[in-house]
Amino acid sequence: MHYPHVLEAFADPVPARERIIRSFHHRLESLPARGSSFFIHVSELCPVACEHCMYSSDLERKSEKVALSRSELEGAIRFISESSSQKLNITGGGEPFLKLSSILRLLETVDVPRIEIVTAGHWATTPKRTARIMGQLDAARARNPVNPELLLRLSIDRYHLNAPRPVRIEHYGNVLRCWSETAPRFAAGLRSIQPDMGIVDRMIADELGAELHEVDDWNRTLLLPSGGSVPITFNVFRRSGKALHLAEDHRGASKTLREYYGPFEKQPGNLSLATAVNDAIRGDYTATSGLAVTLNSDGTFWIFCGTAPDRKLLLGEQNFAEAVAYFFEDPLTHLLVDEGIWALSDLVMDLDPKTHSAALDKNDSAALVDDLLAPDDVRLAATLIATQDLLTRGRATVDPEHPLAELLSDPSIDMARICRDIVRTGGAAR
């Protein structure tokens, strides 16, 4: 059976999807009113230039805008505080400590209970310099009236140790010795990759004269001579960014995303990273009623694992509530928030196995949604399928004048099959 209006939509999928979104109206009584995890990338540049970097970061500009300006940072602070997020992650996209002043400003002002900073540790070149910078972090955090809990995490693996501008094992030792000796009012931790388990953890233990204790299959603990302890988390190996060009892919030495995130599913097959507070060290990705947000160094932001690549926003144009309302105008955000990334993954696997395979092969949760929804026709197909599901369950309506309103409202129509046939037979130009 032919459905001419569906074929017409796939003939020009980008405006067709936009028209569906304009016609779509959810029936939620309320939208999420707060954040869960908030990720901020203060710079896209990095002096270490690891060969496996998922962001392909180095000191070469990849875009016109490589960092948040001072005024944009102040806007970001207001936005983060307004979101009432449960945790702020000052992290990659680049090396945050290239913008130390931005880190210090965030630490002393942002209204969140927990802050985590991820760094390569390249700055810890001498004990004196290390102590000065860690003292600045401690003082900035102490000036914050909400007294946030702070964790400083250093990335340590073979690629950081052997980078064009390497982080030496002594640099990591400088940080952890300073932390142990000066007892700042924040915690310290390390993060690595699963292929380096038993290698870099032993190297840093030897550097410090520490003992290693196993916690579980992706966490270890360093017991320092002083009696303090430092957690080490071994993340999955991501084959994205520069890692796409490595000779080794580490498949046998790293968990897949499904294996790694399995313990954190709300129920079997339901993993909503769009609502989680991330905490691999504590072995938890706690599902919340809030939303995880990523703010990039170019000022764009989106729901982490919850926003289609064509729906990202620019900081300063909306407040938090307005941004959430905008994101939830898209049926795909409902799918990702309610049913999680595996629901989208399975949907795309049925539509376009090649796109699905390439996306999953990267083993990178941060890139997964963008990669799954990169083809315009797949993005339209997923939108149609998600819209029909929401209409069938009485969770949304579509304007009756939309040419696909009748089809989308009819549960007897197999929209997934229709879309699959069109996508797989090349019904839309890639």
Q: Which residues does residue 300 pair with via DSSP β-bridges, in sequence order? A: 314
- From first to last of the 430 residues of the chain, give the pLDDT tens digit: 579 999 999 999 999 999 999 999 999 999 999 999 999 999 988 888 888 887 777 667 767 677 899 999 999 999 999 999 999 999 977 899 999 999 999 999 999 999 999 999 999 999 999 999 999 999 999 999 999 999 999 999 999 999 999 999 999 999 999 999 999 999 999 999 999 999 999 999 999 999 999 998 889 999 999 989 999 999 999 998 888 888 777 888 999 999 988 888 888 888 889 998 877 665 667 778 899 999 999 999 999 999 999 999 999 999 999 999 999 999 999 999 999 999 999 999 999 999 999 999 999 999 999 999 999 999 999 999 999 999 999 999 999 999 999 999 999 999 999 999 999 997 554 4
Distance from C-alpha of 230 to C-alpha of 203, rounded to nearest angstrom: 14
- CA 37 centroid distance within chain: 9
In what side-by-side order are the strands of the sheet with 35-40? 211-216, 219-223, 229-235, 187-193, 149-155, 114-119, 87-90, 35-40, 291-295, 300-303, 313-314
Write down the domain spans for the chain.
4-28+329-424, 35-295
CA distances from 329 to 83, 281, 311, 334 (A): 19, 35, 10, 9
**DSSP helix/strand/coil, 41:** coil
Q: Tokens representing 262?
A: 């399995």
Question: What b/e string do you get for 106-135 counting C-beta neighbours within 10 Å, with b at 16 or more?
Answer: bbbbbbbebbbbbbbbbbbeeeeebbebbe
Q: What are phi and psi of 3, to 5 degrees?
A: -125, 90
